[in-house]
C-alpha cells in the first residue's frame, strides 16, 4: 500500500511544479510584453560588450582614446576591458548577432533564467525539508517578486545573478550532506560562476567553503580544498586573461573603485546630512576622474586599472576625512538596500506610479513580516546548515552594500532566501501547533 501512496505524492508534486512554472511563464511574459522597450536599452553597457565580443571577438568597449570605459563611444576601436563581470555579456553575445531580434532573444534568456530559478527554489525548499505546499509558496513568492519582475525586462545581471544564487545554495546543501567530493566540486564551480556574474558573491563563496570545512560528514578538509580548487578553476580564465591583457590578475572587475567612490564622496555625504533618508542623490554631480598621459606612463598600467585604483584612493580619502559622514551614509545605504518601497524619483509623479510604489511596499512589508515569523519559528536552526548558507548570502551582500553603492535591485540575488524564510513563516502560521514541526528544517 505504501508504494502507490508515494507514487501519488510524486505525481502531485510534478503536477504542482508544472502549474507553478506555467504561472511563472504567464507572469514573466506579461511583464516582458509590458516593458518590451526596456529590453532595447543598455543602462550598464552589457549589451555593448556583448556586441563587441560577438562582432570582433574582444571583450571590450568602444571609446575614444584616452577616456575611461565609463564613457563609451560607438566610433573608435574596441578596447579590452574588465570593467564589467564577464558571465552575463558572454551569454548575451549570441543574441547580439540577431540584430533587431536581439531584445526578443534577451527576453527569452531572462525568461529561461526565471523559470529555472523558480524550479530550483521549489526543489531547494524540498531539500530543506519544506512540505510540498510550503515549497510551492516559496517558489510562487519568487515567481512574483516585484524586483525580479522588474529586472527581468532590464539588460542587467539581476536575473542571472538570482539563478546563480539558488544554484550556489543547492551546491552548498548537497556538498554539506555528502562525504563524496563530487558535490563539493560542483558547488565550487557554481561559486566561481557566481563570482563571474557578480563580484559581490566572492565573500559568500569563501565563507561557504569555511562552513563546508566545519560541518557535514567526514573528509571535511579534503572537501573544502576541492571546493576552493573548483572555484579557482572556474575563475582562472578570467584572471589569466586580465593579467595578459590589462597587466594585472584581476579576479573581479575594475568597476569596484567607481562604485566605492560613488557611495563615499563629500557630495553624497552632504546629501545624506541634508535630505531625507533614502532620497535619490544625483550621482552626475560627482566629479569625473581624469588620468593624464604622463601619469599613465609613470604608472606602467592601463588607464582602466589606474582609474580604478584612483577611485579607491579618493573613496578612502573621503571616508578618512569625514568618518561621521561615512557612518550616516552607511545607514542610508542599508536603508536603500532593504527599503520596502522604491524611492520617489520625481516630486510630481503621477498616481499610477505612486500606487505601484505603494503596492510594492505593501508586498515587501507583508513578506518581511512573514520572514520574522519564519526566523522565530526556526530559532537556532536559522544559523545551522542548510539555513546557514542562506544567512551567509544575506549577511555578505548586506555588508558589501553597506559600503559600496546600492539600491533595491542589489538585493535581487537574496530574494530566494527571503522567500524561503517567508514560506517558513507561512508554514508556521498555517500548521496546527500540536504535534507538528514549527518550521521547515526542524524535523
pLDDT at 439 over 90: no
pLDDT confidence bin for 435, thresholds 50/70/90: very low
CA distance 209 to 213: 6
Average pLDDT, stretch 287-308?
80
Helical residues (DSSP H) of 275-350, grouped into ranges:
293-299, 303-321, 323-338
Q: Provide the pLDDT for residue 1.
A: 33
CA distance 71 to 306: 16
**Residues 161-185: tens digit of each pLDDT:** 999 999 999 999 999 998 888 999 9
Specify the pTM: 0.92
Q: Which tops the pLDDT comparison, 297 or 163?
A: 163
**Residues 131-171: tens digit of each pLDDT:** 999 999 999 999 999 999 999 999 999 999 999 999 999 99
- What mean pLDDT is reported for the chain? 89
CA distance 238 to 256: 16
CA distance 417 to 422: 9
pLDDT at 431 over 70: yes
| Contact between 405 and 411 (Cβ < 8 Å) | no
pLDDT at 3 over 70: no
- Annotate 106-164 with DSSP letters as a single string: HHHHHHHHHHHHHHHHHHHHHHTT--HHHHHHHHHHHHT-HHHHHHTTSSSSHHHHHHH
* 236: helix, strand or coil: helix
- Annotate 183-234 with DSSP letters as a single string: HHHHHHHHHHHHHHH-TTHHHHHHHHHHHHTTSSSS-HHHHHHHHHHHHHHH
Q: Provide the pLDDT for residue 344.
A: 84
| C-alpha pair distances (Å), 228 with each of 196, 251, 328 | 15, 14, 37
**Residues 407-417: tens digit of each pLDDT:** 999 999 999 99
Q: 268-301 in b/e burial notation, b at 16+ Cβ within 10 A?
A: bbebbeeeeebeebeeeebeebebeeeebeeeeb
Q: Which three cell numbers stand for residue 314?
A: 579618493
**Residues 375-409: tens digit of each pLDDT:** 999 999 999 999 999 999 999 999 999 999 999 99
Q: Provide the pLDDT for residue 215.
A: 77
Q: Which residue has the cell 563570482?
A: 195
**Residues 15-61: tens digit of each pLDDT:** 578 889 999 999 999 999 999 999 999 999 999 999 999 999 999 98
CA distance 311 to 289: 8
Give the number of other CB atoms < 10 A from CB of residue 346. Answer: 8
Amino acid at each position: 500500500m505504501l508504494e502507490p501512496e508515494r507514487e501519488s505524492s510524486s505525481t502531485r508534486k510534478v503536477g504542482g511544479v508544472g502549474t507553478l512554472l506555467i504561472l511563472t511563464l504567464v507572469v514573466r511574459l506579461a511583464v516582458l510584453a509590458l516593458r518590451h522597450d526596456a529590453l532595447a536599452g543598455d543602462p550598464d553597457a552589457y549589451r555593448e560588450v556583448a556586441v563587441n565580443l560577438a562582432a570582433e571577438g574582444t571583450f571590450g568597449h568602444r571609446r575614444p582614446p584616452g577616456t575611461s570605459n565609463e564613457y563609451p563611444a560607438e566610433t573608435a576601436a574596441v578596447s579590452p576591458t574588465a570593467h564589467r563581470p564577464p558571465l552575463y555579456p558572454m551569454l548575451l553575445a549570441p543574441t547580439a548577432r540577431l540584430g533587431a531580434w536581439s531584445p526578443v532573444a534577451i527576453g527569452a534568456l531572462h525568461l529561461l533564467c526565471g523559470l529555472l530559478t523558480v524550479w530550483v527554489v521549489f526543489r531547494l525548499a524540498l531539500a530543506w525539508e519544506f512540505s510540498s505546499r510550503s515549497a510551492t509558496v516559496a517558489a510562487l513568492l519568487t515567481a512574483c517578486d516585484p524586483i525580479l519582475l522588474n529586472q527581468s525586462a532590464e539588460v542587467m545581471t539581476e536575473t542571472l545573478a538570482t539563478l546563480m544564487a539558488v544554484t550556489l545554495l543547492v551546491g552548498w546543501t548537497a556538498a554539506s550532506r555528502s562525504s563524496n567530493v563530487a558535490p563539493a566540486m560542483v558547488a565550487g564551480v557554481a561559486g566561481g560562476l557566481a563570482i563571474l556574474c557578480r563580484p559581490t558573491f566572492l565573500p559568500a563563496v569563501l565563507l561557504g567553503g569555511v562552513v563546508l570545512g566545519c560541518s557535514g560528514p567526514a573528509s571535511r578538509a579534503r572537501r573544502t580544498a576541492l571546493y576552493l580548487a573548483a572555484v579557482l578553476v572556474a575563475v582562472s580564465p578570467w584572471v589569466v586573461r586580465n593579467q595578459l591583457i590589462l597587466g594585472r590578475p584581476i579576479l573581479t572587475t575594475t568597476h569596484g573603485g567607481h562604485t566605492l567612490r560613488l557611495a563615499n564622496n563629500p557630495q553624497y555625504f552632504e546629501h545624506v546630512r541634508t535630505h531625507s533618508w533614502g532620497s535619490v542623490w544625483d550621482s552626475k554631480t560627482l566629479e569625473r576622474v581624469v588620468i593624464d598621459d604622463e601619469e599613465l606612463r609613470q604608472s606602467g598600467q592601463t588607464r582602466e586599472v589606474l582609474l580604478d585604483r584612483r577611485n579607491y584612493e579618493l573613496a578612502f580619502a573621503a571616508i578618512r576625512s569625514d568618518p561621521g559622514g561615512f557612518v550616516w551614509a552607511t545607514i542610508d545605504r542599508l536603508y536603500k538596500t532593504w527599503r520596502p518601497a522604491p524611492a520617489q524619483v520625481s516630486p510630481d509623479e503621477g498616481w499610477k506610479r505612486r500606487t505601484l510604489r505603494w503596492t510594492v511596499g505593501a508586498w515587501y512589508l507583508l513578506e518581511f513580516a512573514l520572514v520574522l515569523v519564519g526566523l522565530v519559528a526556526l530559532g537556532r536552526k536559522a544559523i545551522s546548515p542548510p539555513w546557514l548558507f542562506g544567512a551567509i548570502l544575506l549577511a555578505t551582500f548586506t555588508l558589501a552594500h553597506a559600503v559600496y553603492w546600492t539600491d533595491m535591485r542589489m538585493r535581487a540575488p537574496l530574494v530566494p532566501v527571503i522567500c524561503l524564510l517567508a514560506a517558513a513563516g507561512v508554514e508556521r502560521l498555517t500548521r496546527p501547533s500540536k504535534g507538528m514541526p514549527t518550521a521547515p528544517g526542524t524535523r
